[in-house]
Structure 1
Amino acid sequence: MNIRGFVKQLNFWQLFRLAKILIQNPLFIYPTLQATRKTLVICDALYKKEHHRNGKANAFRHALWNIWICLAIFKRTNNKEKSTNWAKKITDLHEKLAPNSAIEKEMDLHNNKIGRQYFFNLSTTSEEEIVAFLKQNTQKAKRITDLKEISNHKNNLVYLLEE
Structure 2
Amino acid sequence: MAFYGADIEQLKHLSKSLAGGSEKLSGNAREIDALISKGSFWHGQDAKQFSADWHSRFRPLLEKASQGLADASKSALRNADEQEKGSGASGGGIGTAAAVGAAGPGLQGPGGGPTPEEILEKYQVSDAETTEWPGDWDPLRLVVDQRTVTEKEAELLNGLGPIELNDFKGIHDDAFSEADSRFPSSDRNDDHNDAFRHAYWNALMTREFGVDWAEDYATAHEQLPGNPGPREAMDLYNNEVGRNIAAAHPDASPEELADLVEEAVRNGDTVVVGGDLLPHPSNEIRPEQTGDAGNAPPADGHDPEFNDESRTTS
TM-score, structure 1 as length reference: 0.69
Q: Is 2:228 the counterpart of 1:94?
A: no
**1:96 offset after TM fit, Å?**
1.2
Tell me the residue number matched to 2:123.
none
Q: Which amino acid aligns with 2:242?
A: G
**Distance in 2 between residues matched to 1:121 and 1:138, nearest whole Å:** 17
Alignment root-mean-square deviation, CA: 3.1
2:199 aligned residue: 63
Please list every run of at least 4 consecutive aligned residues from structure 1 whose deviation after the TM superposition is greater than 6 angstroms: 156-161
What corresponds to 1:76 in structure 2?
none
CA distance in 1, matches of 2:265, 2:208: 22
How far apart are 1:66 and its partner, in Å? 0.3
Once the two structures are superposed, the pairs formed by residues 1-163 of structure 1 within 5 Å of their partners are 8=147, 10=148, 14=149, 16-23=151-158, 25-27=159-161, 28-50=164-186, 52-73=188-209, 83-97=210-224, 99-141=226-268, 142=271, 145=274, 162-163=287-288
Percent identity of equivalent pairs: 21
Q: Which runs of 5+ in 1 are unaligned?
A: 74-82
Amino acid at match of 1:137: A
Tell me, in whole angstroms, the C-alpha distance in 1 between the residues paired with 2:187 and 2:194: 4
* Aligned counterparts of 1:126 and 1:36: Cα–Cα separation in 2: 16
Give the Å deviation of 1:45. 2.4
The residue identity in structure 2 corresponding to 1:124 is D
Q: Could you list the per-position Cα deviations for residues 107-161 of structure 1 after superposition, in whole angstroms to 9, with x for gaps in the alignment?
A: 10010011111111222123322222211111122556578x76xx8xx769987
State the alpha-carbon separation in 1 of the partners of residues 282 and 166 from structure 2.
27
Judged with a 3 Å threshold, the aligned counterparts in structure 2 of structure 1 residues 15 and 93 are, in CA distance, closer, same or farther, namely closer
Alpha-carbon deviation of 1:69? 0.7
Greater Rg over alpha carbons, structure: 2
The offset of 1:44, in angstroms, is: 2.5
Unaligned 5+ segments in structure 2 are 1-143, 289-314
2:298 paired residue number: none
**Following the alignment from structure 2 to structure 1, what is the Cα–Cα distance between the partners of residues 222 and 282?**
16
Residue identity opposite 1:39 in structure 2: A
